[in-house]
Amino acid sequence: MTSRLRRTATGLAAVGMLVATALTTDAAWAVSGADAPGQDHAPAAPEFTDVTVHDPSIVTSGDDIWVFGSHAASAHTKDLISWQQHTVDLSQNPDNALFDDIYTELADTFAWAQTSTLWAADVIQLPDGRYAMYYNACEGSKPLAALGLATADAVDGPYENQGILLKSGMVGESENPGETYDPHVHPNTVDPDAFYDADGNLWMVYGSYSGGIFLLKLDPATGKPLPGQGYGEHLVGGNHSRIEGPTIQYDAGTGYYYLWLSFGGLDVTGGYDVRVARSRTVTGPYLDAEGNDMSTVKADASKPLFDDASIQPYGTKLMGGHLFERELGEAGTGSGIGYVSPGHTSWYTDPATGRMFLVFHSRFPGKGGQHNVRVHQMWMNADGWPVVSPMRYAGETAGKVTRDDVVGTWQLVDMGHDITATAAVSDDITLDKTGKIAGEASGRWMLTGKNAATLIIGGETYEGRFVPTWDPATEQWSLGFTALSDAGVTVWGRQTHELTGANAVAAVVAQLDLGDTSAVTAALTLPTSGTNGTTIAWATSDAAVVTAGGEVTRPGAGAPDASATLTATVRNGTASQTVSFPVTVAARVPGVLAASWSFEGSLADGTGTHADGRPTGSRVDALGGTAAYVADGVDGSALHLDGASGVRLPDGLVQGKSYSVSMWLRPQALTQYTTAFFAAASPDSWVSLVPRGHDGVGGSTMLWSGSAWYDAGTGRSLPLNEWSHVAFVVDNGAVSVYIDGEERFAGTGFPDVLKTDASVFALGVNWWDTPFQGDVDELTVWGSALAPEDVEALAAR
């Protein structure tokens, strides 16, 4: 029996097939074992090539390893390191190569689910050699979904539709005979995963939110469910629990079936995480590390939808949002190494080496919604639970670890057990030669056998492995640890090498950078600390221009720019060094009005510079319809938007790095992500004034930008059916957002979006979200950065 039961029928005596596919290995070793702790020899530095496949599901074909995912995206690799994109998101290219004509082939599915895209597809090889794709689609705001089957002779298609297998969200019926569909107890028919059990039987686990996760037995000859099962066996979830993306792995070494799940929401604020439970039989019951029966885990029906508090104590949590934090002076870039909302797992075991891998998608700190496929090697710990490497797979093979390898400074991440969008941030610890753990966490450590790790931290015992890792910050082979407690909590470790004294000072000075200080318009962020306790003290030559805390005072319009010098003293122990930064603070410029709309029964630009605005449907590019007005505007009449339409303003209203927008809003409804004012260079580069922001800003009014993501939350919500003045000012990367004349957000680093004179501008609509419902009045767009007193004057009634 091989260990590739999950993705193909290979190695199963029941079907008599064997394909000896193995990961490509590099025979040329770059460095000696002494430079690669935990490995007898280190492979060459990896050459990663990333791909974008959301919800990746893995399958093999000859020497190629494929992933298929949502939106009909797919990619392949030979080594799990260098990937090649095959098909992309349907929104990027509707002419998808997996089907001859995907919209014709799957027309019934798109019609039922009322959507134009697909969710998490899964592909498996059937015993007769054909490839079976379990596709699915869902409306999204409700569990109106269809799950179907398509087959092909080759893994890359073309796939031929075999029909819809399951539906959800119907009225007056369900897949269970004699029952009416109830979303609290019946599944959302999405997220399928087909797999073989230890005896060669074919199964499918599926489900998302709604009634939970279910299991069906399939006919290996057709790939379809055996008759009479309805929705199948309930395994976990219910009452709209945020539990989805199931996959089941059988491990012959432990004799367990492992049910992998994703808890939480998949976006940057959803707190997606990876959990697992196990069972001796494929049908369950599946238990977590504390022995909880997952079939009883569901949301509290008396609470609002998606109550995470009810479910977060359950499931063995192996990975969540986390950050191995980077300090100034340390190797790498940005805030550090980590993931945001990792999840929707698949798994692969190399039949030649027995090495196991977890495959998933993740977002990343500071990268907004950008996501890529990630692969991490994993092992079974002493208690028969999987533990996952803290770093992505780079070709490593876990070998013998010595105590000398382990002793030193580390960063420790405790994944916890909560469903949370707040990253688990690393603590600094040391593991000394006596087995003591000290620093921001304390306890004991032990190394047994070749690389088995036992860590006792805060009285909790964690079992796992010391493992070789490729550190992306240092770009060197290093050591990490991964371990799991009896309570189902994971800790990850990353070995570090601390600089001290003059070396630390030099490293901090080399990285100390205030950016372009030749035309400063907003407060500067002045770092005050660096690696290994390094301190940074600031002084200024003229506090009237820029203070030692980075606050600036801009000269008035018409006055000359002002200059001063900031000096940093960097110190570590007795070593110190000073470095100076000349700063020029730009004078304010007079307001330059680009366009204005008072909406006195028309969409005419009051400056006479631009063409009239044009009514749209529910999307910015869906022109048509008639504009509506109300008589009780802020001054005269006002534009009324009904929640199904918007206004396309003239293209190219403003461009450049300095501009301002002022408007009055009277919302009748507040829906998440809905835009009031929208400007975009492309669907991937935009600025949006959002009356109700995402959960990451507590639902407050925000200025939002993507794909260079920026969240400017105001901490305040607009009242319904009342007029509020909202404005934002962008000035060479500085940004301020105002409500009723009060600055509610101020920041720097705002992305430069409006670079051309062809940008799209609109009121109430974009390309994706629910249109604005309410009234708009006295819109002014400025080709310069307004001063606070200018905004205050515009907000006066």
- The Cα–Cα gap between 485 and 381 comes to 10
Burial degree of 326 (CB within 10 A; 0-12, 13-18, 19+): buried
The number of C-alpha atoms within 13 Å of 336 and in the hemisphere containing its C-beta is 22
Q: How many CB atoms lie within 10 A of CB 216?
A: 22
Task: Tell me the CA distances in angstroms from 604 to 608, 610, 625, one per residue in order.
Answer: 8, 8, 16
- The Cα–Cα gap between 40 and 47 comes to 21
90 within 8 A of 121, measured Cβ to Cβ: no
Task: Tell me the CA distances in angstroms from 551 to 163, 533, 544, 554, 614, one per residue in order.
Answer: 64, 25, 9, 10, 43
Question: Going by C-beta distance under 8 Å and a sequence separation of 6 or more, which residues neighbour residue 29?
Answer: 41, 42, 43, 44
The number of C-alpha atoms within 13 Å of 204 and in the hemisphere containing its C-beta is 33
Identified catalytic residue from 55, 307, 308, 325? 55
Tokens coding 634? 């802020």
HEC string for 156-198: CCCCEEEEEEEEECCCCCCCCCCCCCCCCCCCCCCCCEEEECC
Residue-wise DSSP of 602-670: S---TTSSSPPPEEESSSTT-B-S--EEES--SSS-EEEEESS-EEEEPTTS--SSEEEEEEEEEES--
679 within 8 A of 687, measured Cβ to Cβ: yes
C-alpha closest to that of 483 among 449, 460, 507: 460
94 within 8 A of 149, measured Cβ to Cβ: no
Residue that is written with structure tokens 């408007």 in the block: 663
| 308 in active site | no
- The Cα–Cα gap between 401 and 476 comes to 17
C-alpha closest to that of 653 among 779, 750, 769: 779
Task: Tell me the CA distances in angstroms from 38 to 299, 451, 692, one per residue in order.
Answer: 43, 8, 50
Distance between first and last Cα of the chain: 78
SS3 309: helix
| 244 in active site | yes
Identified catalytic residue from 89, 244, 325, 327? 244
- The Cα–Cα gap between 218 and 223 comes to 6
- The Cα–Cα gap between 696 and 693 comes to 8
Give Cα 394 distance to the centre of its chain: 22
- The Cα–Cα gap between 360 and 53 comes to 9
Burial degree of 510 (CB within 10 A; 0-12, 13-18, 19+): exposed
1 within 8 A of 12, measured Cβ to Cβ: yes
Provide the Cα torsion 34, 40, 45, 46; round to 10°.
-150
CA 516, 519, 522, 525 torsion: positive or negative?
A: positive
Residues annotated catalytic, as ranges: 55, 244
